Chains A and B, each alone.
Chain A
């Protein structure tokens, strides 16, 4: 091989310098150029479609959201004017998210800590990991069905409405318990990743000053991993407020809160209700109420909540780059 090849005498267009030839796609084979063009096209299409969805929801939301919708109860009605607002679904979303997180967050945190900091015996850790992964991949509708099964048991009758000894099995308690299952994998994964991203010398330093392992976890590791923990929690909330199947089946999907019993707060929680997702579901043309304007308004509120959560996750994740 000669180091410097003599220029081919009969090459009609003098080939441009090699580097720029490789960087500009003009000299590539047509299949390669097609591939690149396709990548650009799909990337931009993806952007455009997402922007389209968000903008469309924004426009429809701004058209149909009225302040009074937030403070009126839903009502049975045939026209958009009669059917009231979405006060109950909005509160329902908040209640369900709070209750489900009250179950899922401590559980997820403990499992994440155990997996990352203890994890013995190792077969148990492996089983736990794959179980959590399986939970993440299971359809939420299966959880909902299981929920109807366990909350109809007589022993759990105090958590829902009872009628002549028949346990109804649909309540905020039932829905929240099952919703916590779909938030759990996200929390566990994030807590674990956050803890594992902390270098080992941090732990060793803490042990060296005489802290026990659990004290290290509580005082050193968890504060350091707080951004991941927060990210996991917020992703979990996002999943919970976006879920529909569990709410439709386990919350009874009555638009208004229907209380069970006389105790004020407990009665509501034992009773049935709805969330924004089931409100949208019922108000879509395929649903029972079919009032698309209401559906758009509620969908807009729901989407704004999800976007806000997303934004918060971004901020939390940006703060979490400490150890990398």
Chain B
């Protein structure tokens, strides 16, 4: 690649130039397509945002009822309704994403430290493919297992009758819950984190660790204080990637979190975790049949636009976090 092309009078194109032009055109076409995607999504989303203003993100009423009204308003011959306050859905998204990311960050950190430094060779050899395997299990299978195992378990053993009665007027507790969503989601994103974390931890210069060991610091403290700290950019990058994945997770969450646009209320105490909710992506999936109605379509695209925007911001953050890593030659 370092070689420069031989210069020649441009009489007709050289095969190389032709190839470069063709590949470049293809790249431009893909870029244009993605640009089109972004523009179209935001254009379709605009009516919903412009009718609600910042209230779109705020609380107020039940989004499920609002969706009903928006949907039916297209069939009646009057002004389309756009009123939509998505707070319960956004709150659900925040809770599932943050919960799962926190939980899996802690476990992924310890697991990757274990894999890179402390595991015996035999366990290391099993654990690495297992991480990759878990990362590639389709989300619908996680959803199926959640619905058939975890949700009934929560419904029967975690939620007591007292709990059920205490919030009976507001929401019914069945096991389809925030907790199920968080637990399974963290299992789904942990492999992604472990992969990036381990790459970062492996790239820590060996000499730094040996220096610390040579001073008589024990292995755990050495690795924790030197290895993990050096790999901080990798930790950030992995977390960002996993957050993007958690944010976009659709099918599993649609299956296990209960499918009601209810905002779990922390004031309820621990019951809060077993209350149902429904994140953004799952809401889109479950309302996608209503795309035929004009105002509803704008509302659904508005949700998609929020997701797309967050994903873009996350990938920007990931890029920024990866910059210092290049010093250690990590390409994650």
Contacts and interface: CB of A to CB of B under 8 A. Distances in A.
B171 interface: no
A105 interface: no
A135 B301 CA distance: 17
Nearest to A41: B110
B315 A133 contact: yes
A149 B137 CA distance: 29
Nearest to B331: A193
A137 B285 contact: no
B300 interface: yes
B221 interface: yes
Given A53-B137, A242-B136, A200 B2 contact: yes
Interface in A84-143: 107, 110-111, 113-120, 124, 127-128, 130-131, 133-143
A248 B285 contact: yes
Contact of B288 (A35, A118, A145, A277): A145
B179 interface: no
B281 A303 contact: no
Contacts of B149: 56
Nearest to B20: A118
B199 interface: no
Interface in A174-217: 184, 193, 200, 203-204, 207, 212-215
Contacts of B134: 50, 53
Interface residues of B, number: 87
Contacts of B74: none
A28 interface: yes
A127 B38 CA distance: 15
A38 B138 CA distance: 29
Contacts of B131: 46
Interface string B16-28: 1001100110111
Q: Helix, strand, loop or mixed for chain B's interface?
A: helix
A131 B19 contact: no
Interface stretch (B47-55, B203-211, B241-249, B260-268): B241-249
A49 interface: yes
B19 A244 contact: no
A262 B115 CA distance: 57
B31 A43 contact: no
Contacts of B15: 212, 214-215
Contacts of A136: 315
Contact of B315 (A36, A120, A137, A284): A137
A159 interface: no
Nearest to A281: B140
A213 B129 contact: no
A280 B254 CA distance: 13
Given A42-B111, A43-B115, A131 B31 contact: yes
B40 interface: yes
B251 interface: yes
A118 B144 contact: no
B111 A200 contact: no
Contacts of A43: 110-111, 114-115, 119, 123, 127
Interface stretch (A18-26, A66-74, A263-271): A18-26
A56 B141 CA distance: 11
Contact of A141 (B14, B24, B107, B307): B307
A295 interface: yes
A245 B280 CA distance: 13
Contacts of A127: 31
Contacts of B145: 53, 56-57
Interface string B126-166: 11011111101111110111011100000000000000000
A242 B249 CA distance: 12
11 contacts: A43-B127, A114-B24, A127-B31, A137-B312, A141-B284, A142-B304, A200-B1, A242-B137, A244-B139, A299-B141, A310-B129
Given A22-B213, A200-B2, 19 more contacts: A43-B123, A56-B149, A57-B141, A113-B23, A127-B31, A131-B30, A137-B315, A138-B244, A138-B312, A139-B247, A146-B37, A149-B40, A214-B16, A244-B251, A284-B147, A285-B148, A299-B140, A303-B137, A314-B129
Interface of A: 18, 22-23, 25, 27-29, 32-33, 35-36, 38-40, 42-47, 49-51, 53-54, 56-57, 107, 110-111, 113-120, 124, 127-128, 130-131, 133-146, 148-150, 184, 193, 200, 203-204, 207, 212-215, 235, 238, 241-245, 248-249, 277, 280-281, 284-286, 292, 295-296, 299, 302-303, 306-307, 309-310, 313-314
